[in-house]
Amino acid sequence: MADGREIIYYDDADTTLPPERAIDPRPLDPRPATATMRRDVLTGDWISVAAARQNRAFLPPAHLDPLAPQTPTNPSEVPSLYDVVVFENKSPSFGPALAAATGDAPLAEDAPTGLDDLDAAGLGRSRSSVGRCEVVCFSPAHEGSFGTQSSSRARTVIEAWADRTAALSALPGIQQVFPFENRGEEIGVTLHHPHGQIYSYPYVTPRTRSMLAAIEREGADLFERIIAFESAGPRVVLEAEHWIAYVPFAARWPLEVHLAPLRHVPDLAATSAAERDELADVYLRLLRGVDALYDTPTPYIAAWHQAPVHTGRDAVRLHLQLTSPRRAADKLKYLAGSETAMGAWIADIPPEQSAERLREAIAR
């Protein structure tokens, strides 16, 4: 890109596009400085303070869509027509600096070198938010989501996720890679364009640290036993040769479903071609079932939990966690005092009831 950011095009197997891609002709300002993260001494969590994000686009009209291919009247982020494209975020929460200079990414002088450094005690600790944030555009269309794509396009996106997971995991200082999709203004989406993101963190995230603690407590075969437990229960919503989708036993959200491979794989990069082929179909069926629950599209967060880059890879299993705050056609669950302040969740809908409704919606 014109300011040095990397952009990668992924073509459908049945693409009609030529192999050539245009040069980005825009005059762009230099990239913002790498954000700073601060440690919350009470929880041990790192908070990235990324002020440049305040300037990101907010629900622009279709003719100024920053994720559409460039035109003479729309100097967007993508120079060429595309099937799927991935590029570095212009206002990232992490990066562009890394723990070592790599390509166009500079060295952060105070980059954390490992978990021991990040976990050290002390008040007022701060570090550079090294890492990388990428945007994944599922389609050149102005509106839609992953669930509105064709099977061929879904397979291309999955291939992009897997390829980027492998590439990002190899960058210096990266501890965890997280692909996700936010869908709907109720979630806080600021662009209607069908897209997701990939965050590459300089630490293992709090959610994953909790999973690692659970594995330490329950045993290294925890995910295998969870799959066996859910497979035999009433909360399964989809089953296939390689994948299973279920509403978890202790679901927090009005709509929460997990999608996991039947064999152990730590991340999308470790999935086989057959698993990726089937995932394209299974995931589309699941998302279209979620949208069939109501007369209007369902807001959600689709979060791909992957094992950390350097730890827990034999125990943390890849899985999707799809959650929605929608508890009725015209009602949302808001995280108020108990959930937000204390982390003590109260579920509004029994998981078994949620699973039954979702099975019916998928069948429709």
Please list the alpha-helical segments (H only) found in the chain: 115-118, 151-169, 206-218, 222-231, 273-291, 342, 351-363
Phi, psi of 237 (to 5 degrees): -115, -25
122-156 exposure pattern, b = at least 16 Cβ within 10 A, e = fewer: eeeeebbbbbbbbbbbbbbbbebbbbbbeeebbbb
CB 48 within 8 Å of CB 117:
no
Measuring CA to CA, how many Å separate 292 from each of 186, 192, 287, 303? 18, 20, 9, 20
36-46 exposure pattern, b = at least 16 Cβ within 10 A, e = fewer: ebebeeeeeeb
Cis bond before residue 96 (omega within 30° of 0): yes
d(CA 23, CA 5): 13
Phi, psi of 218 (to 5 degrees): -95, -25
Query: Hey, which residues are catalytic here?
Result: 195
Cα within 13 Å of Cα(250), Cβ side: 4
For CA atoms 227, 285, 361, 346, the dihedral sign is positive
Beta strands across the sheet bearing 132-137: 7-10, 84-88, 132-137, 195-201, 176-183, 300-305, 319-324, 255-261, 243-246, 236-239
- Count, in order, helices (H) and strands (E) of the chain: 7, 15
